[in-house]
Structure 1
Amino acid sequence: MFQDASLSEPTICRVPTTRPKVFDEALSTGQTHSCLGWTMRCRGVNREMWMRNDYRYGEDDPLSWPQPYCASRPYLSCLRLCERTQSDPDLPLFKLPIRADFLELDTSSLIRGPGLWAEDRRSAFEHRCRWELIGWSSSRSMQVMFLERLKSLPMTFPRLCLCVAETQRLVLEVEAISTFFSTIRPRFAAGATSPPPKADMDLVGCFTTDIGVAQQLHRARRSHLVVEMSTVSGRVHLGTCPLRLPSVYVGSGADEGKYDAFDQFTRSHLGAPRVFAWTSGRLRSGPSRTRGKQSIPAHGVFSPCKHHLCLGSSATNNLWAIDNQGNRSRKGHLKPGSPNQFEVITHALLPGIRTTWKDGLLGVNVDKACVDVPAAPFAFPRPDLFVTISDSGKRMSVLSTWLRLRPGHLAMQTSSYCPGKVSHQMWRAILSYDWVGKSDANDRVRGKETQRRDLAATFLVGCLDEMSIQEGVSVDATWRGKSMPHIDVEDVHEILWELSELGFRLEILSVDSHLRVIENDSALRKHEKHLGHCFPRGRYDRCWIVELAEAHHGLAECSWMRRAPYVCSLCRVMSKWRNCPQSIQDERERYTEDMLISLQQDMALFYCKSFYTAFGQAPTLPRELGHVPDVDAEYPECAVSLTKSTGYYHDVTDWEASY
């Protein structure tokens, strides 16, 4: 039976005499929208859903195909059709980016593939998405995160298309929810009207095998198909996306769990990255009996991070004249009589660690007998790697190589990839290698070409099919528009500050996932909200996006009153970690400056100890940028006080609304 909502009475159609086409267990005998270009195809009971080449969910994508009526998601039949004219203001919600609008990163980048969407196209898309999201705060989280990724993160062109397609789907679903609750749902509850309202043929409609549902849809003037049951089975093979993506869904198209699988797939693009391929640390009750006798690979051996006093000329802009004058002993080992604690590297090119965090680091008992885990490899090079190289020319060469690798490496640090983690020594080898020079016959004889290929495979593991390292780049590396020969000390400070801030934030995410004890999903969502409030953007799903404008915001605020909300949010996060000290768990309604500083000291020490126990090495800690960068950015304000009494911060982080 075919029923069109534009008709006052249903039209009965006979089963076609041609070979039937299967939609799960339903045999369709009619068609609602000729404008959909819909042709019935074999779609069996058990089929595997993949992302298609047009970045849609195959024939089950609700944006492109009428779906079986889903009682838990009735609004999906209110999705609008995809056909749009060039003059339609909603065109950005249906049109994917084209290669001509994709701008690869600067020509000095060694990694080919990552880039950004052209600003005018991205702005038009963002404007249309944000307009649709007004008034739907409960449905904004993922859409806004996708928009932030499009704006802030370099990505390959296929990832850009995927990101845009997922954003389009989410925004159109929000619009469908609005249409359903404002127009369709009241018609469900209302009785028959005379004359009946005109059907909206611009909506995608749905299928159903339930006559009762069909009557409801007819009363609401919704386009739909009534289908008969069939036992014919089959399987469909979908054209897959050029990306290596996991299977989206396996099962019946009428199963409501299909949409849960779609949602889970969408969220998988927005997961926070983890800086370590971490392993669980185990506290020992006593000294190890095998200490000094274990045979461990060189890259896994832990040796305390030697923090040397490396001072150079303090106010010069001549980077090539700044030399290391450290107090290292031979081969970098600890000097006789040194205590079991980390030391702090200082250098004219390296921003200093903030005092509270430095004191916490020095308070850690660096005793391998207490930790049964090898040092974890790194996703980012440690900032001190760039200043512990004695030769100034080599040091600047290593810094230049990082600037060339940086854009592509940032593109890899998302949940879309599984980038490899490498040791401190391997990072030094990667950054010290001459990637710029072209290979020749002599290089092949000496094995240099093989070395280049092996290093590239190590660096790009997990995304070799999307990115590559190019040879013979003759353009100088750049930082904020300045070429390498023209950067000064402040520029180097900014580069290394960004590197330390990235490492610090990602390490916090790793430690938190390792130590937190959360009872249920509701508590986890609240915990993640507090974790997001530790940083200027105010959201958990964006805290790992670092911008230079944040150098003096958040935990780096100079004013203790403005810093207090971020400190208290981090305190609430740490209070859910195993073995958290009572001084951090104790809740207080208000703080003085001295109380807040004391709390910060306890938190810094606990964090550094927990990190060493879990990962077997010193954490990357936030550093203090000595100047204010000439960049603009807007961040949400935190509530700092609810009383006129001066000298007190009243903690409202437990109940303040999300930003």
Structure 2
Amino acid sequence: MRLMDPDAWKVEQAPAIVEGVDLLKNHRVHSDLGTLDCGGRVAAHVVMGNTSYFITTNTHYVPRLPEVDPKQILIRRDIEKFCHLPAIPKAPTHPQDHLAVMWWNPTPDDFVCPASGMTLTRGLGRIRGARFSKFSVRTHALIKEYEQYVKSLPTGTKPPLLLPQLVQRLQLSLERLRMPSTYVRMVVGVTTVQREYLELTGLLRYMTKYRPRLDLIDPADTTQPDDCVGCFTDDPRIAQILWKVCLPCWLIRPLKAFTDECILKMVVPFAATDFLEMNPAAGFAPVLATDRLDDRLSLLHCTENTPWYRNPFEGHVASTAAAGGPGVGLAGGQSARAHSSRGASSSVSLRGRGSPYAAARTESKARKEKGPGPKLARDKFLPFDRPEMPTTISLWASALAAVDRSRPPSCGADLPQLYVMPEPALLASPDDPARRRMLYHHYTLLRYALMFRLGDGDEPHALLTTQQWRDIVQGKITKQGKAGSHAQARSASLEELLRPAFSACSMDDLTGFPVSPDAVPPLDVNRTKELLWELAEINFRYEFLVLDARASGLNRPDECRTCFASPRLIGMEFNESQRGFAARETDELLPHLLCMAGFMRDWSVPCERPKEIDNAKGRTQWSADSIHGLENAVTKYYTASFYELFGRAAVVPMRLDSSHTFSSAV
């Protein structure tokens, strides 16, 4: 898609006589044009198959019907079921128009990759931040318009089912656009956001402007059609409706049916390919469809809205329940169970009996039973302090430290400690600064590939243990070590696990791992704080989703994501580190606490729920002290519940101080 050149609307005049039929024989300049003339301002002659047709319209131009495979999805010819499609706004002619970004084509200059030497991925990047911001601003404004429309409906009236579906699709597509991807996928992601935005705009316009015109609640005061895409139809009744509500329409009739229609001018149709991309994207399978147009459009509008993300904890919960573990598994329908079964197989394979990491766990357990050695293991329930660590949020840190570990958790004490991404303190824990710099550098090199793996819906994402993540950030991602040793088996298993993501990111040569100490760049404390905050936030957001599913027995991840500063699970903006649960102002913090408290009231866990959480329901008056009390209750209940159901310390949110200078790196 692209902006329309203003000269595109300067139509070329065409001959009036076609196959012996004079289409201007009823030309009457000062007569009123009837609805069956479909405006009759201009007309065009086209040949489809072996049949000649004439097209009349209430506009001053005629697009040429695209010639494509009849089983491919096209613009709809009638408006019986999807009547909003003609109301989609037309491409603007000015680049400063607020809709211009929705008709813009990305170029390689809009694809930003990490700086050379700061990643091993090739061809993996993100859409430029300024472009994404334009998409984000327009999308949120449109969603706000939708919310205002819903509020304006009479009590008990629900919006058309397609409206919330389109809103959800648009939100998910915008989130996905911010994730690391290949250039081709970024372009497809841009097109997806544009298409869903424009269709949602068309549906809102139809419900608020054109439907009232059709029902004579707010009749049009002009016969000039609006700047919308309009539609082709061969049904005079549909043409009359569009003429009535002032939407562009092109009525197609066989040339032999021409009788007394009044046509003022004959024009040459312009080709849609001059303004729209009609060729399919390489590497993407076509949408299978039937000959029926209704079936083809239903594929776009009536299928289940499937999120781009899949919670990797689902497999862990399912496998725990299947093994006879306590607690409840995920509930809420076949979709959750199907995802669980996919995730379980891959996540168990690296941790089951006979796996290279099982021996490491056995040795670790034996060392614990013998007592601590000269160096005590890090207590994950206590804050960890390093200059490059983000700032702890005091009540979250206090709540985690206060978790009662005097007895085993209800899930049992032997569950492996699994993480979506490495916990921040894992990278910051070595005492040797040079070793920490190496871990940070290794993670930076692998960061995009690990996020790509987490967001790839085609492959189940295996949760990894602390030791597995430690091996990864130490650079042990290819088969290495003494033949037949546990170390070699562990590195080989990680290479097998990560190879699909590495291949997708064009990381074919990993011989330079681990990186030589001489090649490790100096520590950038600011940038490292951002990356460690991001790790904490990704872990926290995924963990909250699965904790709610496990504690409530409900499958509601989209609702849970409304508790965060943004609904994203990956690709959060670093400025979110001062918002949401990290907000310092109590008025800004309160909505997020109330949101989480609302979900907590559905939880059934073997620890007492603080009364402040129940008392928050319906409360409207809040002082700074009462907000502080609610935060204290929410954080304590969260950390205690996570320990009871998963047997380890939760990864809790952190913040970057207001004095932090955000880096420009992607």
Q: TM-score interval w.r.t. the shorter chain? A: 0.5 to 0.7
Of 317, 324, 328, the match for 1:279: 317
How many residue pairs end up in the alignment?
537
* 3-state DSSP of counterpart to 2:497: helix
2:464 alignment partner AA: V
Query: Which residue does the alignment assign to 2:465?
Result: 423
Residue 497 in 1 paired to residue 533 in 2? yes
Q: What's the offset of the Cα at 1:408?
A: 3.6
Query: Which residue does the alignment assign to 1:75?
Result: 84
| 2:91–2:103 Cα contact (<8 Å) kept | yes
Of 40, 54, 57, the match for 1:7: 40
* 3-state DSSP of counterpart to 2:105: coil
Query: Which residue does the alignment assign to 2:421?
Result: 380
| 1:354–1:624 Cα contact (<8 Å) kept | no
The Cα offsets for residues 256-282 of structure 1, whole Å up to 9 and x where unpaired, read as: 7844644757x5465575566432455
2:317 alignment partner AA: T
Residue 117 in 1 paired to residue 127 in 2? yes
Query: Which residue does the alignment assign to 1:534?
Result: 563
| 1:378–1:424 Cα contact (<8 Å) kept | yes
* d(CA) in 2 for partners of 1:67, 1:623: 50
Residue 403 in 1 paired to residue 444 in 2? yes
Question: Which has more helix, going by share of residues?
Answer: 2
Query: Which residue does the alignment assign to 1:641?
Result: none
Alignment of 1:76-91 (within 5 A): 76-79=85-88
Query: Which residue does the alignment assign to 2:108?
Result: 99
Query: Which residue does the alignment assign to 1:647?
Result: none
Residue 610 in 1 paired to residue 610 in 2? no
1:423 alignment partner AA: T
1:485 alignment partner AA: P
2:120 alignment partner AA: L
* d(CA) in 2 for partners of 1:225, 1:372: 72
* d(CA) in 1 for partners of 2:587, 2:136: 35
* 3-state DSSP of counterpart to 1:67: coil
- Aligned-pair Cα RMSD in Å: 5.6
Residue 205 in 1 paired to residue 234 in 2? no
Residue 465 in 1 paired to residue 504 in 2? yes
- Percent of matched pairs sharing the same residue: 17
Q: What's the offset of the Cα at 1:188?
A: 3.4
Q: What's the offset of the Cα at 1:398?
A: 1.6
* 3-state DSSP of counterpart to 2:181: coil
563-572 vs 89-98, greater mean Cα deviation: 89-98
Q: What's the offset of the Cα at 1:105?
A: 1.9
- Label 1:374 to 1:91 Cα distance change in 2 as closer, same or farther (>3 A): same
Residue 487 in 1 paired to residue 529 in 2? no
| 1:583–1:602 Cα contact (<8 Å) kept | yes
Query: Which residue does the alignment assign to 1:571?
Result: 597
* 3-state DSSP of counterpart to 1:542: coil
Residue 216 in 1 paired to residue 245 in 2? no
1:115 alignment partner AA: G
* d(CA) in 2 for partners of 1:8, 1:220: 17
Q: What's the offset of the Cα at 1:97?
A: 1.5
* 3-state DSSP of counterpart to 2:610: helix
* d(CA) in 2 for partners of 1:365, 1:413: 35
Of 187, 194, 197, the match for 1:161: 187
* d(CA) in 1 for partners of 2:55, 2:532: 62
Q: What's the offset of the Cα at 1:285?
A: 8.0
| 1:534–1:570 Cα contact (<8 Å) kept | yes
The Cα offsets for residues 26-73 of structure 1, whole Å up to 9 and x where unpaired, read as: xx9776796344226443xxxxxxxxxxxxxxx32xxxx331434343
* d(CA) in 2 for partners of 1:605, 1:194: 59
- Label 1:382 to 1:599 Cα distance change in 2 as closer, same or farther (>3 A): same
| 2:289–2:296 Cα contact (<8 Å) kept | no
| 2:586–2:624 Cα contact (<8 Å) kept | yes
* 3-state DSSP of counterpart to 1:115: strand
| 1:68–1:206 Cα contact (<8 Å) kept | yes
The Cα offsets for residues 354-380 of structure 1, whole Å up to 9 and x where unpaired, read as: 454444453145637743984364321
Of 610, 614, 622, the match for 1:586: 614
- Label 1:485 to 1:66 Cα distance change in 2 as closer, same or farther (>3 A): closer
- Label 1:617 to 1:261 Cα distance change in 2 as closer, same or farther (>3 A): farther
* d(CA) in 2 for partners of 1:205, 1:631: 48
Query: Which residue does the alignment assign to 1:188?
Result: 214
* d(CA) in 2 for partners of 1:121, 1:356: 35
Q: What's the offset of the Cα at 1:505?
A: 1.7
The Cα offsets for residues 191-230 of structure 1, whole Å up to 9 and x where unpaired, read as: 9x9999356796340446x6644543455565255799xx
TM-score by length of 2: 0.63
Q: What's the offset of the Cα at 1:169?
A: 1.0
Query: Which residue does the alignment assign to 2:347?
Result: none
| 1:204–1:223 Cα contact (<8 Å) kept | yes
Q: What's the offset of the Cα at 1:125?
A: 6.0
| 1:276–1:421 Cα contact (<8 Å) kept | no
Q: What's the offset of the Cα at 1:575?
A: 1.2
* d(CA) in 1 for partners of 2:458, 2:594: 33
- Label 1:9 to 1:433 Cα distance change in 2 as closer, same or farther (>3 A): closer
- Label 1:503 to 1:196 Cα distance change in 2 as closer, same or farther (>3 A): closer
| 1:505–1:543 Cα contact (<8 Å) kept | yes
* d(CA) in 2 for partners of 1:610, 1:258: 45
- Label 1:272 to 1:241 Cα distance change in 2 as closer, same or farther (>3 A): same
The Cα offsets for residues 82-127 of structure 1, whole Å up to 9 and x where unpaired, read as: 6979898855433431234323221121122321334565566667
| 1:398–1:432 Cα contact (<8 Å) kept | yes
* 3-state DSSP of counterpart to 2:575: helix
* 3-state DSSP of counterpart to 1:586: helix
TM-score by length of 1: 0.63
Alignment of 1:190-339 (within 5 A): 197=223, 203-207=229-233, 212-213=237-238, 215-217=240-242, 219-220=244-245, 222-224=248-250, 241-242=281-282, 250-251=289-290, 253-255=292-294, 258-259=297-298, 261-262=300-301, 267-268=305-306, 271=309, 274=312, 277-280=315-318, 281-282=320-321, 295=353, 297=355, 299=357, 331=367, 335=371
| 1:302–1:375 Cα contact (<8 Å) kept | no
- Label 1:80 to 1:409 Cα distance change in 2 as closer, same or farther (>3 A): same
- Label 1:218 to 1:115 Cα distance change in 2 as closer, same or farther (>3 A): same
Q: What's the offset of the Cα at 1:458?
A: 2.2
Residue 432 in 1 paired to residue 461 in 2? no
Query: Which residue does the alignment assign to 2:269?
Result: none
Query: Which residue does the alignment assign to 2:348?
Result: none
1:109 alignment partner AA: T
Alignment of 1:18-167 (within 5 A): 18=50, 35-39=63-67, 41-43=69-71, 59-60=72-73, 65-79=74-88, 92-107=101-116, 108-118=118-128, 135-137=145-147, 143=170, 146-147=173-174, 150=177, 152-167=178-193
1:504 alignment partner AA: F
Residue 619 in 1 paired to residue 647 in 2? no
1:425 alignment partner AA: Q
The Cα offsets for residues 592-630 of structure 1, whole Å up to 9 and x where unpaired, read as: 666655554544444334334544443212346678412
| 2:325–2:411 Cα contact (<8 Å) kept | yes
Of 364, 367, 386, the match for 1:348: 386
